[in-house]
Amino acid sequence: MISEAFDKIMGLQKIPNPIIAVVSEVLAERYTHSQLVVLFMEKGAPGDSPIGNKVDKCSSWLKRCNDELDVDAFAVLGGLLENLMEVDPSENSIFAQDLEKARTRIISVLAKYGTSYETGGRIFHTGNALPTKSLHDLIKNKDVPGITAEISRTLKSVETDPPTALTAACAALEALCKTFIESEGIEMPSDNSIKGLWKIIVNRMGFNPASHADDDIKRILSGINSIVDGIGALRTHAGSAHGHGTRNYKVEPRHARLAVNAAHTIIMFVMETWDKLKKGSEVKTSSLD
């Protein structure tokens, strides 16, 4: 059970080989060797250009993206496809020939593996709730519309796969915490669970209810901390990323929807507080001050 759930989550982080094969062929038809090198490097593909013909070059580079733990392979893929999927063929002769046929091939193979291309070079997994575009990048760039789009995408899968939507809600909070910790140069805690990560947020952003005199603010902060703890606990007991014990949890769409919406609200709240910190203001409680 644990290994199956793990594979389900990790499978979303690696581009399936059939997608790699089709994308490699399509790109090879439209770019020279030197153009491919520039394109892959611009979109964050790691290492030097692989050897071989153009198809082999693209295929090897995409597979390398899968193998590198610190590379968001789907983010690279989306970037590689952006011009192809969105350019007006009348403005670029490279893509004019058989453009619709190429786009259809891409859309078809992505759909076969439960993914889709979205405007802006984003690849989404349509079969369950985990977004393939890295929330880490969106949060780091303070891309609020992008984050909201990710959460909205997750909500569309709540009805069909509540456990995975629940896992995505917790994963979003973890991405938020890790991005803040890394960006602020804070040592990553030994406890990488949401509980350990959130503790850093509480201490650095003034979310400890005990440090405030106002009873109303105390209640709000206590509620936020309880919600984060609850999402983490429910994810452990009923989410798709963990094996479950003897206690039977039946997470319903309404539970997952509550968790996803709560996670979104907390992410926005933390980002506003983070901006206040960046501006040099003393954060006593929250943006409610």
pLDDT of residue 4: 38
Residue-wise pLDDT for 123-178, tens only, equals 876 544 334 345 666 677 776 666 776 676 667 667 777 887 888 888 888 888 88
Residue 68 pLDDT class (50, 70, 90 cuts):
confident
29, 51, 53, 75, 174 from 14: Cα distances, Å: 24, 22, 23, 11, 20
What interhelical angle do 33-42 and 17-30 show, nearest 10? Answer: 130
Rounded Cα–Cα distance for residues 19 and 238 (Å): 31
Q: What tokens does 252 get?
A: 């319903």
Structure confidence at residue 97 (pLDDT): 65
Domains annotated on the chain, with CATH? 2-125 (no CATH), 135-278 (1.20.120)
Taking the C-alpha atoms of residue 176 and residue 201, their distance in angstroms, rounded to an integer, is 10
